[in-house]
Chains A and B, each alone.
Chain A
Amino acid sequence: MERSGKKILANVEWKVVIAFLFLVFVGWLNIYAAVYDGEHSNIFDMSCRYGKQMMWIGAALVIALFVMVTDPKFFSQTSYIVYLICIAMLFVVLIMGSVTKGAKSWLGIGEFGIQPSEFAKLGTALALSKLLSAINVDMKELKTKLTAIGIVLLPMALVLLQNDTGSALVYCSFVFVLFREGLSSYVLIFGVSAIILFVLALIINPYLLIGILSGATLILYFILHRRNRSVKFIYFLGIIAFCSIVILGVDFAYNDVLGSHQRERIEVLLGQKQDFKGAGYNVNQSKIAIGSGGFFGKGFLEGTQTKFNFVPEQDTDFIFCTVGEEWGFVGSIILVFVYVWLCVKLIKMAERQRSNFARLYGYSIAGIIFFHFFVNIGMTIGLLPVIGIPLPFLSYGGSSLWAFTLMLFIFIRQDAARGELI
């Protein structure tokens, strides 16, 4: 035990642990700044959010320690069980959860509540890794594909039923791991072009757009056909059909499926609607807070927008505003760098795993963390619509912090044991 303990310590990727500690510390500091009102300044004041977050952080460190002394095999072995527990909890939430900000995602246990959807990402990552790491599994088989997609879609659908669109979207991040494991690159290309088409379809009249794209495709066909007679017309018809379906589908989904508040958020983002009091309020205030930070920021506890609550949700989903305002461009860029570095590092670490499970799991959590970072910061700087998901390790909230800590340290633990025989 002593020997393996030493070995574990020697193989721990300390840079990642330091990045984790850094993010958690920055998070706490900015929650303090966001909540700070000059009256309660005791950092352990449990009636304030920074006091509570301090407690969550303490607990998270205990969890991390706990994970580090656990046998790494334990996690792969219990993957399905964890997944099933998560799914069960999601069902329970649907039935008896409490509604907060329009989403039914809380499960109250006494004074405290937890958000099963935060943990379900972890469960899904474990289960998916477990599934695809089995020796007799081949991604090319349809059965495998369907099972994998099923594992992802089940919790996603349940979270969507909770009316928590943001958390549901996070499951899209598994596309990274699937791509790495052999998912056709067309899926990725289709995905990206679908998103581009989606945005275009909202800006331009759908029929006009179809016309333009069809024309462009036909011109492309004739140019290519002249050079090479073997180019088949049928493929280009396929492209046109694909575009038309996506565009019309978007039109339909947008007008008939999306809720009015979601439509508004997208319209505001696309600049089709100027509404600084209603749907655009959050984004506008968020941009003001970040933009007013300037190069060096206003300084710790000096952010007026932050302190006086101009930005809603500034200790949870909009925590980045506080960073932007008080620490300026310098602070923001450091944070962006740390996130990107962490995600890239996780990919690199995943690639050095001998265990398939560990590699798959590494990709999964790198994707999840990256997706959160991408959506959350994109939203606060006005590049993406308002989608309420927390910024990993920074945002206030026990469930989110614990889930991410678990996710990260399970991987660090796997990584530390990468030299051991499987």
Chain B
Amino acid sequence: MSNSTKNALASRRFIIMGIFVFIGLVYAIRLLYLQVIDDTYAELADRNALRYVTQYPSRGLIYDRKGKLLVYNEVVYDLMVIPRQVKNIDTNMFCSLVKITKEDFNKKMDKAKKYSMYAPSFFEKQISKEDFASLQEKIYMFQGFYAQKRTIRSYPDSIAAAVLGYIGEVNEARIEKEPYYKRGDYIGMSGLEKSYEKELRGVKGSKITLVDVHNREKGSFQNGKYDQAAITGKNLYSTIDADLQKYAEKLMKNKRGSIVAIEPSTGEVLCFVSAPSYEPNLLAGRERGNNYKKLLDDISKPLFNRALMAEYPPGSIFKIAQALVALDMGVISANTGFPCDKGLVGCHNHPSASTVRDAIKMSCNPYFYRVFQREVQQVNPRTGKIDSKFGLALWTAAMKRMGFGVITDIDLPNVRKGSIPDTNFYNKWYPSGWNFHTIYSNSIGQGEVGVVPIQMANFAALVANRGWYITPHLVKAYGDDNHKKIYSKYLQKHYSLIASSWWNIAVEGMWAVVHEGGGTGRRADVPGLEVCGKTGTAQNIGADHSVFISFAPKVNPQIAVSVYVENARGGGGTWAAPIAGLIIEKYIKGKVEREDVEKMYMEAMPCQPLPLVRVQQPKKSNNKQQNTTNSQATENKQNNTSTTGNTNSTNSD
């Protein structure tokens, strides 16, 4: 080998070293890219190893107006299983403790295994504290099983289901709209649970745990530095008086209808009953799904909130509003009298009323026929001619100012607005023209007028306050003890813009209804209390509805009540008035002394047996004498079974 070749070969070492260095540089650049420039890998690593565990806040509690608990959270236990860790357990013993059969056990186990061998999954949900007690002592014997605490809603007095509502698992549509919710979260589905969902739910927290490749937990991430504690939901301080509520529910036992009582000075709802009701605990806990189905299928529609969703013909209680509007319009005076001309509209036998007060007391139908006629048939100052459209427009506006035909902005979901017909409505309804004679049924609260019980109660409060109301609401405050809040809309007075002097005439009339001979609501009288009220008997295809609105005492009223008993065999004076009287007595006096009366109405079953009434669709006919809207529950597509009006009304009270 010559020296030159030797040197040439020796210089090849530079090529080899060059290759070494070149590869080293390539790798350095690649590492720079992977580790420094491209930061997606850090995120991917987190996704690999960090698991965000949601910390569920406990839902806010709900108290009554006196601080009594209406809703609290009860501890239940979910039994969890990690299939891979299950070893050598005594299946028989386990099954007897959990109260399941061996087949159930195998089925649940297979399901869990299918989900994951390493990650925990639900074995048995919501085991009550009582059932869990026996299991707890022995759970150490069953490797791979552990219990996880959670809470469900519980109702100690089993009252006010229609107010409180219930919670249920959130649906997909909601999750899509509000990403706060995740599958399996609970959300208020109705009642206060729904309308105060944001306050009650609190704020979810999160805990970051490390997991390994098999999804096993490996402790907290950076000692919990990035964990966020859940914030407990705010408590609700309800306006409901639990004692009164319980009493009212007892009174409405075996009846259909509603009772709503309001404190007039504040608009606070004292009791709120929709009958028939249901046991609220049925819709919490393990059997929720089944119970819900049962309630949904129940022919008496216990889930249907009559106080908010049932539109009824108000019947004669509407005469108060008619009188007030007419007085304010100046179309009648306090001493206007009309003969009881049964040729116009049917009436019961009573002397003709010569004042508004007497007309209210005796609930004279022809009198209010005339009143409504004067309200509608007014001279339009622009044309100088009598113009029913002009009159009706004024009337509609006045009625709406009193809360009729508009949605009551109560803090409960799914409120219906009722109906107060306006000129547009009749123009559409009667394309060939209309006049007073086609719409006179409204005069006595039949016809096209539809009212929801909450509006009746609010109207009672409006009269009690002589001209203003605060929107009825069920929550006085929310928050913790030191920082209670309320929506400002529940502090604001709404004025009906009817001169104050006219209210006293209405109040006097309502006082006479209860206290004077010939008054239709004598049974509402509570000894020692100045109860004012007005009866109503809404004509119906089935038996009449019995209606009563009232407030007491006459001066500085403390309570305004509306009672509606569907299909009672008897008028407003027979059923609704005495029930209202009992409610007033219970609230103001704290207890009812007239035990015989109380017993009589609690046990009475005035309603017709179910099924009640077929829902009749409004027909367009010339002798247009029918229709109130049949109420439809927005939720659950229930049809209200009970409220089809018929203005072929010959009854007043």
Contacts and interface: CB of A to CB of B under 8 A. Distances in A.
A293 B45 CA distance: 9
Contact of A291 (B12, B24, B40): B40
Interface in A7-65: none
A304 B211 CA distance: 9
Given A180-B16, A294-B36, A305 B48 contact: yes
Contact of B31 (A285, A308, A336): A336
B9 A377 contact: no
A381 B33 CA distance: 10
B23 A290 contact: no
Interface residues on B, range: 35 or more
B45 A289 contact: yes
B42 interface: yes
B28 interface: yes
Contacts of A347: 13, 16-17, 20
Given A305-B48, A351-B10, A383-B30, 13 more contacts: A179-B16, A182-B5, A288-B41, A290-B31, A304-B210, A307-B210, A308-B48, A329-B36, A336-B27, A344-B21, A370-B20, A377-B27, A383-B26
B20 A344 contact: yes
A322 interface: no
Nearest to B210: A304
Interface of A: 138, 176, 179-182, 285, 287-295, 304-305, 307-310, 324-325, 328-329, 332-333, 336-337, 339-340, 343-344, 347-348, 350-351, 363, 366, 370, 374, 377-378, 381-383
A304 B32 CA distance: 21
Given A291-B34, A309-B212, A324-B31, A344 B49 contact: no
Given A291-B41, A336-B28, A351 B35 contact: no
Contacts of B452: none
A308 to B, nearest CB: 3
A93 to B, nearest CB: 31
A374 B36 contact: no
Nearest to B10: A351
Given A291-B41, A344-B17, A381 B31 contact: yes
Contacts of A309: 212-214
B9 A332 contact: no
B38 interface: yes
Contacts of A339: 24
A304 B44 CA distance: 11
Contacts of A340: 20-21, 23-24
Instruction: Describe A's contact surface by its main secondary structure.
Output: helix
Interface of B: 1, 5, 9-10, 12-13, 15-17, 20-21, 23-24, 26-28, 30-32, 34-36, 38-42, 44-46, 48-50, 210-214, 218
B303 to A, nearest CB: 47
Given A288-B44, A351-B13, A308 B35 contact: no
Contacts of A176: 16
A47 to B, nearest CB: 19
Nearest to B43: A292
Contact of A310 (B5, B26, B36, B213): B213
A295 B45 CA distance: 15
B24 A290 contact: no
B24 A304 contact: no
10 contacts: A291-B41, A295-B36, A304-B49, A307-B218, A324-B35, A333-B31, A336-B27, A340-B24, A351-B10, A370-B23
Contact of B13 (A138, A180, A329, A382): A180
Nearest to A370: B20
A291 B43 CA distance: 10
Contacts of B23: 340, 370, 374
B210 A291 contact: no
A324 B42 CA distance: 12
Nearest to A339: B24
A327 to B, nearest CB: 10
Of the candidates B5, B13, B17, the one having the most CB atoms from chain A within 10 angstroms of its own CB is B13
A250 to B, nearest CB: 23
Given A308-B211, A383-B30, A290 B35 contact: yes
Contact of A329 (B10, B32, B45, B214): B32
Contact of B35 (A179, A295, A305, A382): A295
Contact of B27 (A287, A363, A378): A378
